[in-house]
Amino acid sequence: MPFNKRANYDLELAECTPNPGFQEDRGSSQDYPAVLPAEVKREADGEYTQIKPYAGMPKEVLLLYSSQARYRVPREVLFWLTVACTLALLAVTVAIIVMSPRCLSWWQTSPVYQVYPRSFKDSDGDGVGDLNGIRQQLDHFLHLNIKTVWISPFYKSPMKDFGYDVEDFRAIDPIFGTMQDFENLLADMHQRDLKLIMDFIPNHTSDKHRWFNLSRTRDPSYEDYYIWTDCNATDPRPNNWVSIFGNSSWTYDDVRGQCYLHQFLKEQPDLNFRNPKVKREIVDVIRFWLKKGVDGFRMDAVKHIFEAAHLRDEPQVDPDKPPEEITTEWDLYHDYTTSQLGLHDMLRDWRAEMDAYSREPGRYRFMVTESYDYHEIDKTMMYYGTPLIKEADFPFNFYLLDLPQNASGWWVKHLVHLWMGNMPEGRWPNWVVGNHDRPRIATSVGQAYVPVLNMLLLTLPGTPTTYYGEEIGMENINITASEVQDPFGKYNISNSRDPQRSPMQWSGEVNAGFNTETNLTWLPVHPSYPSVNVETQRADSGSVLAQYRSLNALRQAELPLHRGWFCYVHVDSNVFSFLRELDGLRRAFLMVLNFGKEPATTDLSSVSELPDQLEVLMSTNPANDGKVFQKSRILTAAGEGLVIRYHTDTRFNPSRPGQCYVSEKACYLSVLDLLYKC
């Protein structure tokens, strides 16, 4: 660039870093220096011709040299290399995001633990468990590595059905505490990264509910909130419909002069969901608790929500049976009182409400449905929704509750396959072996089989549900007629659900540590509590509790166990065996579970994908941990289960697609230690 003005020359030298080659002119400040340094040469036309750039050079000099090839080319190479690396990194990031399988949600990674609040922990000495009692025992869930807790009803209630008869959906019953107690419990649970699932009872209310009292007096706004029909006060049977608890599902109301429907107790009148106002009321209740911060709902008795409007008699199972002898639910085909048109539309509406509150990251709201459909499993599967419209995250799977009917490997496989073979593709399974309505599994199949049942529960694919006390092997209590609390048992003591609802056994102290303030318990404590309790079993590495905890930790730590393939390997009269594997991962797991009455030798020599020698990672008999078996001769005692970890490069599932299931296929890339869709 031309540089002819002397004033500029002096100015730039004065402003820049001192140049060691510059010689100050002692003469007139208006004259150029007589001689420039050898390093700074200038032609007559004012252009610089020096060979090397120097520190403090003016920008004109810098631009002159920066345009030379030896400076320009490296600069451009570095620039385009940076652009290429940025684009490559962006492409890899997008590819990883696109190819990565969906992350499992919180309700998929942890077992669901059911708390029956009356029986879990009493904090105030009245003999009944409460919300503060649950709060005191939150560390128990952390010890078991459980993140999801389902609490049975604690709404304000007359307690005719222990909370399933709701008097006020927006209030806590004083026997369990206050709304502040609930909010404190929820805050403490969230602080510990625990999720709270509430029981929600949409089908009916208590007859003490404000809505019912207004409806029976024919208040114009509430007149049709329940199912009313004309009937005769002396013979209140508009049709042959029967209550779940027995006898007619209709009761005459003197105030209104009509009969109302109740599919459960007469103190639990059914809501009329064909009334849009009722639908809005229930949605408002759901929103109320979601705003409180609850993480999900277990929707109770959903198949009963709608009834046929025509109120016709239901078909009799035995057509020849006299109508007056139709007194139990098993006497009728429930064509008009269960699974009616409109049910699934409403469940989808509730799902939409849950989704609206699930937009905050990490705050997904979970929904599970309860419906005993027995042999009509296709009806149960409908609660998953359709490929386009989701309903429940899963419906409860109650088929393992039938395990006591036939203790054999064949029967266990049948019950497992009943779900896996009917579940819609891509859906998430779940497993239940006990709850507040069914006898404890330790009583119905025997204490010796509890560890192998827990092993089955925690190694099958999907989400297991544990009823309080199953983690220590609690059994049913024996009660006398005078001790019966359950209204179902008051009709027939053999139907009482009290035996499986006894107080939780925390320690060997008085009342098993359930109530340490007084000597009151709402039901008797099981006499086994001095040895079968949490405190004792936490100190014993071979206890049922310790094995449950270890299995749950293994399940959550190992990819094949919580999101890998599930494949049937072997079944006989004693043993049910399956494996869990993940494509791309050499590590896999084989389960050999003996549900029979005698020892068994299992021969898996025909399974070429298994190595010849198999080492036991965990046995329900700790003495067998680490034992090595030949695959042609795997020994198990009656009630023993084995978790065998092995390594192989050959997958089992590709050659046996009819024996294997996976909810969402994923592969493991060992080089990058990541999962991808495949």
Task: Look at residue 606 and give its three-state secondary structure.
Answer: coil
Q: Report the pLDDT value the prediction gives residue 72, as an integer from 0 to 100.
A: 81
> How many CB atoms are closer than 10 A to CB 167?
18
**Selection from 217, 196, 214, 197 nearest residue 205 by Cα:** 214
Task: Tell me the Cα Rg of the chain.
Answer: 36
- Asked whether the predicted pLDDT for residue 30 surpasses 80, the reply is no
pLDDT band, very low/low/confident/very high, at 16 (cuts 50, 70, 90): low
- Asked whether the predicted pLDDT for residue 372 surpasses 80, the reply is yes
- Collect all residues with Cβ–Cβ distance below 8 Å to 561 and sequence separation of at least 6: 459, 554, 555, 580, 589
CA 501 – CA 439 distance, rounded (Å): 9
- Asked whether the predicted pLDDT for residue 20 surpasses 70, the reply is no
pTM score, two decimals? 0.88
* β 168-172/155-156 pair status: antiparallel
Digit-coded pLDDT (tens) for 291-339 = 999 999 999 999 999 999 999 999 999 999 999 999 999 999 999 999 9
Angle (nearest 5°) at CA 329 between 396 and 442? 50
Distances (CA, A) of 134 to 120, 123, 361: 7, 9, 27
CA 669 – CA 678 distance, rounded (Å): 11
Task: State which amino acid sits at residue 376.
Answer: E
23-56: b or e for each residue (b if 16 or more CB lie within 10 Å)? eeeeeeeeeeeeeeeeebeeeeeeebebeebbee
Q: Report the pLDDT value the prediction gives residue 57, as an integer from 0 to 100.
A: 77
- Collect all residues with Cβ–Cβ distance below 8 Å to 70 and sequence separation of at least 6: none
CA 646 – CA 643 distance, rounded (Å): 10
Digit-coded pLDDT (tens) for 376-404 = 999 999 999 999 999 999 999 999 999 99
Q: Is there a catalytic annotation at residue 300?
A: yes
The answer to whether residues 297 and 393 touch, using CB atoms and an 8 Å cutoff, is no
The answer to whether residues 370 and 362 touch, using CB atoms and an 8 Å cutoff, is no
CA 316 – CA 53 distance, rounded (Å): 105
| Sign of the alpha-carbon dihedral angle for 245, 250, 252, 255 | positive
> How many CB atoms are closer than 10 A to CB 59?
11
The answer to whether residues 586 and 647 touch, using CB atoms and an 8 Å cutoff, is yes
> Roughly what angle, to the nearest 10 degrees, separates helices 69-99 and 59-66?
70
- Asked whether the predicted pLDDT for residue 63 surpasses 90, the reply is no
What is the percent of the chain with per-residue pLDDT over 70, rounded to a whole number?
92
CA 296 – CA 364 distance, rounded (Å): 8
Burial class from Cβ neighbours inside 10 Å (0-12, 13-18, 19+) for residue 409 reads buried
pLDDT band, very low/low/confident/very high, at 489 (cuts 50, 70, 90): confident
Q: Is there a catalytic annotation at residue 615?
A: no
**Selection from 152, 154, 267, 142 nearest residue 204 by Cα:** 267
DSSP H or E stretch at residue 196: strand 195-200
**Selection from 225, 229, 303, 240 nearest residue 271 by Cα:** 225
CA 21 – CA 39 distance, rounded (Å): 7
Q: Report the pLDDT value the prediction gives residue 58, as an integer from 0 to 100.
A: 81
Beta bridge partners of 306: none
Distance from chain centroid for Cα 647:
30
The answer to whether residues 150 and 112 touch, using CB atoms and an 8 Å cutoff, is yes
* β 628-630/613-619 pair status: antiparallel
Task: State which amino acid sits at residue 219.
Answer: D
CA 576 – CA 596 distance, rounded (Å): 10
What is the percent of the chain with per-residue pLDDT over 90, rounded to a whole number?
82
Q: Report the pLDDT value the prediction gives residue 34, as an integer from 0 to 100.
A: 40
- Asked whether the predicted pLDDT for residue 37 surpasses 80, the reply is no
Task: State which amino acid sits at residue 656.
Answer: R
643-663: b or e for each residue (b if 16 or more CB lie within 10 Å)? bbbbeeeebbbeeeeeebbbb
Active-site residue (options: 161, 270, 295, 370): 370
- Asked whether the predicted pLDDT for residue 240 surpasses 70, the reply is yes
CA 643 – CA 625 distance, rounded (Å): 9
Q: How many CA atoms lie within 13 A of 351 on its CB side?
A: 19
Backbone angles phi, psi at 354, to 5 degrees: -60, -40
- Asked whether the predicted pLDDT for residue 38 surpasses 70, the reply is no
More confident residue, 473 or 9: 473
Q: Report the pLDDT value the prediction gives residue 18, as an integer from 0 to 100.
A: 57
Digit-coded pLDDT (tens) for 527-560 = 999 999 999 999 999 999 999 999 999 999 999 9
CA 394 – CA 195 distance, rounded (Å): 17
- Asked whether the predicted pLDDT for residue 35 surpasses 90, the reply is no
Active-site residue (options: 300, 475, 486, 498): 300
Q: Report the pLDDT value the prediction gives residue 40, as an integer from 0 to 100.
A: 47
The answer to whether residues 579 and 569 touch, using CB atoms and an 8 Å cutoff, is yes
- Number of helices (H) and strands (E) in the chain: give both, helices first: 19, 24
Task: Look at residue 278 and give its three-state secondary structure.
Answer: helix
Q: Report the pLDDT value the prediction gives residue 29, as an integer from 0 to 100.
A: 43
More confident residue, 233 or 35: 233
* β 613-619/641-647 pair status: antiparallel
Distances (CA, A) of 327 to 240, 306, 322, 363: 9, 21, 11, 46
**Selection from 663, 296, 638, 298 nearest residue 467 by Cα:** 298
Q: Report the pLDDT value the prediction gives residue 23, as an integer from 0 to 100.
A: 52
Angle (nearest 5°) at CA 165 between 151 and 169? 65
More confident residue, 236 or 306: 306
pLDDT averaged over every residue in the chain: 91
Q: Report the pLDDT value the prediction gives residue 71, as an integer from 0 to 100.
A: 78
Digit-coded pLDDT (tens) for 196-219 = 999 999 999 999 999 999 999 999
| Long-range pairs, 348-356, Cβ under 8 A, ≥24 | 348/385, 348/389, 348/390, 348/391, 349/279, 349/283, 350/283, 350/286, 350/299, 351/385, 351/390, 351/391, 351/392, 353/283, 353/286, 353/287, 353/290, 354/286, 354/290, 354/296, 354/297
